[in-house]
Amino acid sequence: MITKGRKPMAKVSFLGLGVMGFPMAGHLQAAGHNVTVFNRTASKADAWVSQYGGMAASTPAQAAADADFVMACVGNDDDLRSVCLGPEGALGAMKNGAIFVDHTTVSAKVTREMYDVAAQNSVGFVDAPVSGGQAGAENGQLGIMCGGDAKAYASAEPIMNVYAKACRRLGDSGAGQLTKMVNQICIAGVVQGLSEGLHFAEKAGLDIEEVVSVISQGAAGSWQMSNRFETMAKDEYDFGFAVDWMRKDLGICLDTADENGASLPVTAIVDQFYKDVQNQGGGRWDTSSLIKRLRLMG
């Protein structure tokens, strides 16, 4: 909740209150910003207001009107278009000079499309996908990869820093989304490698905790190993970044690779492994569930 008497620093709207957006918007309100939220399921917006204060709007346009910054964290390309465009979309309602910051992981193509629409409305647009998962959002420790005009980024950076561990502009519009693709490509291979390593250790009769205590201190160490090996060993996956969302992201990576000529053989294979996990009923499991696929195979 906002401390009484604290002067709001900016008028901010936040579109999308999922597992990421809900706490991110909360950090903005707690930092003293005047926050209005929108969510397609109105009950989530009402719950957010009950927890943090601020206001809820019935449409993206209503939330965006008179805002200095409009932040979005929705599901996919179509969801982004939905909250941005049309008579109830945010971009047409934003005032001149306001800035739209998109934290959704989407294609660079739709990002550039929205950037052009925003420019036609004298609005800045920054693509700013995030990494760090639900825990990073809740703890205000997200990595934010940004693309867009330098001036728009410079204005929006202090707002994003409220929930960022690291925030950086990587280039023009779309550069943030392309960097997020690199992030997901790297994660896919690491999680599969970790899954195979832990599965091998189990089959070899080794103590996984003892093994990891040694190898994590050397070249095999990774964030995934440090943060996921215990739950992988316990066969627990009801948390973190869902397989369904990872497949969406990897699909974007593979489509973009087809366009730019990049070769992603490991990514393509791991994407199909995640498809196997979905077929096993694990669409909402954490991405570390790749090891469960190996266990079910024998």
The reply to whether 4 falls in a domain is no
Range of the domain at 132: 11-172
State residue 240's pLDDT score: 83
**For the chain, how are helix, strand and coil distributed in percent, rounded to 5?**
55, 15, 35
State residue 239's pLDDT score: 86
126-151: per-residue pLDDT in tens?
999 999 999 999 999 999 999 999 99
Give me the DSSP letters along 152-182.
Answer: HHHHHHHHHTTSEEEEEEEESTTHHHHHHHH
Do 126 and 184 sit in the same domain of this protein? Answer: no
CATH number of domain containing 53: 3.40.50.720
The reply to whether 229 falls in a domain is yes
Asked if pLDDT for residue 8 goes beyond 80, the answer is no
Tokens of 228: 């996921």
Q: N- to C-terminal Cα distance for the chain?
A: 51
Do 163 and 184 sit in the same domain of this protein? Answer: no
State residue 167's pLDDT score: 98
The reply to whether 93 falls in a domain is yes
State residue 9's pLDDT score: 87
User: Which residues form the catalytic set?
Assistant: 180
Provide the number of structural domains found in the chain: 2
Burial group, residue 55, by CB count within 10 angstroms (0-12, 13-18, 19+): middle
Do 151 and 289 sit in the same domain of this protein? Answer: no
Asked if pLDDT for residue 5 goes beyond 80, the answer is no
CA atoms within 13 A of residue 236's CA, in its CB half-sphere:
9
Do 88 and 57 sit in the same domain of this protein? Answer: yes
62-72: per-residue pLDDT in tens?
999 999 999 99
Do 67 and 145 sit in the same domain of this protein? Answer: yes
* CA separation for the pair 251, 242 (Å, rounded): 14
**Residue (of 67, 69, 59) closest to 126 by Cα position:** 69
Q: Can you name the residues that pair with 102 across neighbouring β-strands?
A: 72, 127
Do 63 and 203 sit in the same domain of this protein? Answer: no
Query: pTM score, two decimals?
Result: 0.94
Do 154 and 193 sit in the same domain of this protein? Answer: no
Do 144 and 214 sit in the same domain of this protein? Answer: no
Of all helices (H) and strands (E), which one includes residue 36?
strand 34-38
Going by the DSSP 8-state scheme, the letter that residue 259 receives in this structure is: H
Do 65 and 115 sit in the same domain of this protein? Answer: yes
Going by the DSSP 8-state scheme, the letter that residue 187 receives in this structure is: H
183-215: per-residue pLDDT in tens?
999 999 999 999 999 999 999 999 999 999 999
Do 144 and 204 sit in the same domain of this protein? Answer: no
Do 190 and 292 sit in the same domain of this protein? Answer: yes
